[in-house]
Amino acid sequence: MIRTEKLTRDYGDGRGILDLDLHVPKGKIFGYIGPNGAGKTTTIKLLCGLLRPTSGRAFVNDIEVTPANTQTIKRLVGYLPDIFGVYDQMSVWEYLDFFCAAYRIKPRDRKERIDEALRLTDAAYMLDYQVASLSRGMRQRVGLAKTLLHDPEVLILDEPAGGLDPKARIEMRNTISRLRDLGKTILLSSHILPELASVCDLVGILKHGRLVAQGTVAEITDTLREKLVLVLAVDGGTPRAVMACLNFPNVAEAIASGDEIRLVFSGTRREMADLTSYLVGKGVRVRSLREAETNLEQVFLTVTGDAAQPDAAETGE
């Protein structure tokens, strides 16, 4: 339903996205995960036709995203931007009616569409609220309702859980899986790994504008499992320990965080013991060396080298 071929947007200075090949089948939720500045919003704007690629192509339902196809793409896609626009001087009803007009929905059909969209997002009670008075979580719901007004087949949601507290994130997750159950194809982005990750059928992990992993959560964790992800705990001297690890033949990556070093290891379990004695021989004070649990969060940490920050949402991005 969503497909890109070597999609590239070059902002200069090595920024942007490079050669992205994304595949999102119909009726699936695709989690587009990457740290701040990885290129998620850039990709999303390219998919919605709000930005032109430097090279490569994007398709929604086999229709190429080009200026000539803008109207068709708009009908197909409901887009939730990462920032809620300034519509403070309106009620929720006026706000949604405004977008119904923009989507050329006939006046006599609008009430039904608005009611349905607010029902799907559990926001019916907000109908007469002033937009200015809405909390962040309420705004995300109304924003999501806006994307549903013209009943699009595809939803593209940029950080739908951004700034939400844990309870609101769970509610958002439930809403999103309900929309998938209605047959929508959903691409959602996140720079953190909140509970939303668990709702995704497929995941793509983006780092510095490149897709470093794509597939089901099980596939991605399996690929890494072949490689073994190890956690080495040391008693001080972390930088030196990192260097020593990287000098060991089977260590592909070593990422330090405090007194712990996360290693991508291509050797066997027996060779783990060799690594331990090698490190001890190099004067590294090894406290422990163990296999990491490979859940999605660990995968994210390993492939991006960035700490997922579950609290970032509360502190504001």
Q: Which positions touch ligand ATP (CB under 6 A)? A: 11, 15-16, 34, 36-42, 82, 191
- Smallest gap from residue 42 Cβ to Mg ion (A): 8
> Closest CB to ligand ATP among 173 and 207?
207
Name the segment binding Mg ion (CB under 5 A); options: 41-49, 51-59, 111-119, 276-284: 41-49
Token pair of 75, please? 């009908």
Distance CA 117, CA 237 (A): 56
121 binds, among Mg ion, ligand ATP, none (CB under 5 to 8 A by kind): none
* Closest approach of ligand ATP to the CB of residue 283, in Å: 39
Question: Phi and psi for 8 in degrees, rounded to 5?
Answer: -135, 135
Q: Name 207's bridge partners.
A: 210
Closer of 19 and 116 to ligand ATP (Cβ)? 19
Output 20 or 279, the one with its CB closest to ligand ATP. 20
Residue 41 within binding range of Mg ion, rule CB under 5 A? yes
Q: Roughly how many angstroms between the first and final C-alpha of the chain, as a whole number?
A: 30
Token reading at 191: 């720079």
The item of ligand ATP, Mg ion, none sharing an interface with residue 272, based on CB under 5 to 8 Å by kind, is none
Query: Could you tell me the two tokens for 81?
Result: 């931007």
Cβ contact 246:271 at 8 Å: no
User: Between residues 37 and 283, which has the closer beta carbon with respect to Mg ion?
Assistant: 37
Span near Mg ion by CB under 5 A; candidates 2-10, 67-75, 79-87, 281-289: 79-87
Stretch that binds Mg ion, among 82-90, 170-178, 197-205, 206-214 (CB under 5 A): 82-90
Cβ at position 82, least distance to Mg ion in Å? 5
Q: Among residues 30 and 99, whose Cβ is nearest to ligand ATP?
A: 30
CB of 83 to ligand ATP, least distance (A): 10
DSSP 212: E
DSSP per position, 79-146? EE-SS--S-TTSBHHHHHHHHHHHTT--HHHHHHHHHHHHHHTT-GGGTTSBGGG--HHHHHHHHHHH
Report DSSP state, residue 159.
S
* The one segment of 37-45, 49-57, 208-216, 231-239 that binds Mg ion by CB under 5 A: 37-45
Angle at 87 between CA 86 and CA 90, to 5 degrees: 160
Residue 39 interacting partner from Mg ion, ligand ATP, none (CB closer than 5 to 8 Å by kind): ligand ATP
Least Å from the CB of residue 32 to Mg ion? 10
How far apart are CB 244 and Mg ion at their closest, in Å?
A: 37
Asked whether the beta carbons of 164 and 139 are under 8 A apart, the reply is no
Output the six-digit token pair for 149: 């007004």
38 binds, among ligand ATP, Mg ion, none (CB under 5 to 8 A by kind): ligand ATP
Q: Which window, 32-40, 58-66, 123-131, 239-247, contacts Mg ion (CB under 5 A)?
A: 32-40
Q: Count Cβ atoms within 10 A of the Cβ of residue 167 and give its class: 0-12 exposed, 13-18 middle, 19 or more buried.
A: exposed
User: What residues contact 40, with CB distance under 8 A and at least 6 apart?
Assistant: 32, 34, 158, 159, 189, 191, 206
160 contact choice in ligand ATP, Mg ion, none (CB below 5 to 8 Å, kind-dependent):
none
Catalog residues that contact Mg ion under the rule CB under 5 A. 40-41, 82
